[in-house]
Amino acid sequence: MEQRGYDVIIVGAGPAGAQCARYLSENSDYSILLLDKTQEIGQPKKSTAGTVIETMEKFNLPKKLIMQKINSVILEGPSQETEVSVQGCVLEFGGLKKFLVREAVHNGVKVEIGATVSKPILKKGEIVGVGYQDFEGINTAKAKIIIDATGPEAVLTTLLGLRKLNPKNHWIGMEFEMENLNLKHNNSMLIKLDNDYAPGGYSWIFSAGRNYAKVGNCWNNEFFKKKGGKGPQLSYLKKWIKSDERLKNGIPLEMHAGDANFDSSIRKKSTSNFMAIGDTICSINPLFGEGIRPGMYSAIFAAETAIEALKKNNTSAKQLSNYDRKWQQNIGKNRKLMHSISNRLYNFSNTKYDKLVKNFRKLDNVAINRIIYYKFTLNDIRKVFPI
- What's the CATH number where 309 sits? 3.50.50.60
Task: Give the residue from 228, 261, 294 where a domain finishes.
Answer: 261
Task: Give the residue from 297, 321, 336 where a domain finishes.
Answer: 336
Residue 342 lies in a domain: no
Residue 42 has a pLDDT of: 80
Task: Give the residue from 236, 261, 286 where a domain finishes.
Answer: 261
Distance between terminal CA atoms of the chain? 60
Q: Per-residue b/e over 330-346, b at no fewer than 16 CB within 10 Å?
A: ebbebbeebbebbbebb
Q: Are residues 36 and 106 both part of a single domain?
A: yes
Whole domain around residue 38: which residue ranges? Answer: 3-45+94-165+264-336
Residue 343 lies in a domain: no
Q: Are residues 103 and 155 both part of a single domain?
A: yes
- For the beta carbon of residue 133, count every other beta carbon within 10 angstroms: 14
Helix ranges restricted to H, the chain:
15-27, 53-58, 93-106, 155-159, 221-226, 234-243, 292-312, 317-330, 335-345, 350-359, 365-372, 378-384
Residue 335 has a pLDDT of: 78
Residue 231 has a pLDDT of: 85
Residue 308 lies in a domain: yes
Q: Are residues 86 and 132 both part of a single domain?
A: no
Helix ranges restricted to H, 124-211:
155-159
Q: Are residues 180 and 286 both part of a single domain?
A: no
Q: What is the spatial distance between Cα 136 and Cα 143, in angstroms, rounded to a whole number?
A: 21
Residue 43 has a pLDDT of: 85
Q: Are residues 39 and 105 both part of a single domain?
A: yes
Residue 357 lies in a domain: no
Residue 81 lies in a domain: yes
CATH number at residue 177: 3.30.9.10
With a CB cutoff of 8 Å and minimum separation 6, the contacts of 136 are none
User: What is the total count of domains within the chain?
Assistant: 2
Q: Are residues 131 and 275 both part of a single domain?
A: yes
Q: Are residues 114 and 60 both part of a single domain?
A: no
Q: What is the spatial distance between Cα 140 and Cα 121, in angstroms, rounded to a whole number?
A: 8
Q: Are residues 186 and 295 both part of a single domain?
A: no
Closest CA to 20 of 225, 333, 305, 239: 305
Residue 112 lies in a domain: yes
Residue 78 lies in a domain: yes
Per-residue pLDDT of the chain (387 residues; tens, 9 = 90+): 455 689 999 999 999 999 999 999 999 999 999 999 999 888 888 889 999 999 999 999 999 999 999 999 999 999 999 999 999 999 999 999 999 999 999 999 999 999 999 999 999 999 999 999 998 899 999 999 999 999 988 999 999 999 877 777 888 899 999 999 999 989 999 999 999 999 999 999 999 999 999 999 998 888 899 988 888 888 999 999 999 999 999 999 999 988 888 776 676 899 999 999 999 998 888 777 788 999 999 999 999 999 999 999 999 999 999 999 999 988 887 777 788 888 888 889 999 999 999 999 998 888 888 888 777 888 888 888 876
Q: Are residues 87 and 109 both part of a single domain?
A: no
Q: Are residues 303 and 178 both part of a single domain?
A: no
Residue 337 has a pLDDT of: 79
What are φ and ψ of residue 25, in 5° steps?
Answer: -75, -25
Q: Are residues 131 and 274 both part of a single domain?
A: yes
Instruction: Report CA torsion sign: 174, 179, 181, 185.
Output: positive
Q: Are residues 180 and 84 both part of a single domain?
A: yes
Residue 303 lies in a domain: yes
pTM as predicted: 0.94
Residue 4 has a pLDDT of: 67
Q: In sequence order, what DSSP letters do the residues of 310-324 get, joined into one string?
A: HHHT---HHHHHHHH
Burial environment of residue 102 by CB neighbours within 10 A (0 to 12, 13 to 18, 19 or more)? middle
